[in-house]
Amino acid sequence: MRILLDTDFCSLVLRGDVVAEGRLQQYRVSDVAIASVTWAEAMYGCARSERGALLWRMWSELVVDWPILPFDARCADVYALIRSDLERKGCVIGDRDMMIAATAMVHDLAFVTNNLDEFRRIPGLRIEVWRPS
């Protein structure tokens, strides 16, 4: 694996963004993963949508060949370090975002997101921004 995709990037792909799709196609399926927290965010979005069944199918088809990396004890350890560091600096971001970042860091993956404002606060997180045109 080489990259971990953020929820916002996956949503672009599902909406048919050609730039996002093109960037993703530059990677082999075996290079791509998502975090279990990303999956949870996606499933929550499906659960609250009137088009939930359709969205669930779309998400399931998108990630069918990608591992969904668990938020395990190692991720929890890194999450704790990230959160305490950001709290000391007075620039905390959302819990789920810190959990996803911890997953990327534990697995030594570049993190693909368009949410640079939040994630650039995390020292040591390798970020790739694939902004759509």
Backbone angles phi, psi at 34, to 5 degrees: -130, 160
Reference 119, options 95, 96, 93, 80; nearest CA is 93
**Domain regions of the chain by residue span:** 3-128
pLDDT in tens, 72-118: 999 999 999 999 999 999 999 999 999 999 999 999 999 999 999 99
Q: Spell out the SS3 assignment of 62-129.
A: HHCCCCEECCCHHHHHHHHHHHHHHHHHCCCCCHHHHHHHHHHHHCCCEEECCCHHHHCCCCCCCEEC
Mean of pLDDT values over 8-20: 93
Q: pTM value?
A: 0.94
Residue 133: pLDDT over 70: no
How far apart, in whole angstroms, are the C-alpha atoms of residue 20 and residue 123? 25
Q: What is the CATH number of domain 3-128?
A: 3.40.50.1010
Between strands 3-5 and 127-128, the pairing is: unpaired
What is the pLDDT at residue 100? Answer: 98
pLDDT of residue 130: 79
